[in-house]
């Protein structure tokens, strides 16, 4: 194995590390360090002109790991807070539903009250009309009673006229005519 010259090319450095790894006994700590993945990593970094500081890479990896752990912890805390808010929101949602139901019941009660007032007003108006009609019926009853009395008086007069006419022996046609008229008056008075 030859030494690595101070101004070695990228290819010379890659070949050099591969030769070193090839002569290291299997199962040793150095063979574990210079494993296939490390050699591939080294070759990729050299070809891309990246720094090949393994310790720095480990520190960056540890920092990344810590950052990921911190993010995971932050996410867990955020999730816990969100779950707590959700748990508090459920009763709020139930209260909101109850409030909406209460508002709906109040609206229905108000509507029912308005209808009751309207029905009460309609009933009062109907009672007024009934009172008016009852008064009219009472007046008509009084008129009917008065007319019946007049008919009764007329009948009495007619019967008197018939009685007088019978005593004076009126012609047969006139007597029959008066009887027919008297009978009509009696029938109409009975209605």
pLDDT of residue 179: 74
Parts of the chain with a pLDDT under 70? 90-95, 164-175, 189-191
| Concatenated DSSP letters of 86-145 | HHHHHHHHHHHHHHHHHHHHHHHHHHHHHHHHHHHHHHHHHHHHHHHHHHHHHHHHHHHH
C-alpha–C-alpha distance, residues 44 and 42, integer Å: 6
| Residue 151: closest CA among 188, 115, 183 | 188
Instruction: Give the model confidence (pLDDT) of 40-52 as tens digits.
Output: 999 999 999 988 8
Instruction: Give the model confidence (pLDDT) of 39-84 as tens digits.
Output: 999 999 999 998 888 888 889 889 989 999 888 988 888 888 888 8
pLDDT of residue 145: 83
Encoded tokens for 177: 């005519």
pLDDT of residue 53: 87
pLDDT of residue 12: 92
């Amino acid at each position: 194995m030859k030494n690595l010259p101070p101004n070695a090319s990228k290819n010379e450095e890659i070949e050099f590390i591969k030769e070193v790894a090839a002569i290291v006994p299997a199962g040793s700590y150095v063979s574990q360090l210079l494993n296939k993945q490390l050699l591939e990593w080294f070759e990729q970094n050299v070809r891309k002109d990246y720094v090949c500081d393994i310790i720095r890479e480990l520190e960056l990896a540890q920092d990344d790991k810590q950052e990921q752990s911190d993010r995971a912890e932050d996410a867990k805390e955020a999730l816990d807070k969100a779950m707590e808010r959700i748990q508090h929101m459920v009763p709020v949602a139930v209260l909101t539903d109850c409030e909406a139901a209460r508002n709906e019941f109040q609206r229905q009660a108000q509507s029912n009250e308005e209808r009751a007032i309207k029905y009460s007003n309609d009933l009062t108006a109907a009672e007024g009309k009934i009172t008016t009609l009852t008064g009219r019926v009472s007046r008509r009853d009084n008129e009917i009673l008065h007319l019946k009395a007049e008919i009764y008086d007329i009948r009495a007069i007619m019967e008197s006229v018939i009685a007088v006419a019978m005593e004076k022996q009126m012609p047969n046609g006139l007597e029959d005519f008066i009887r027919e008229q008297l009978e009509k008056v009696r029938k109409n008075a009975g209605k």
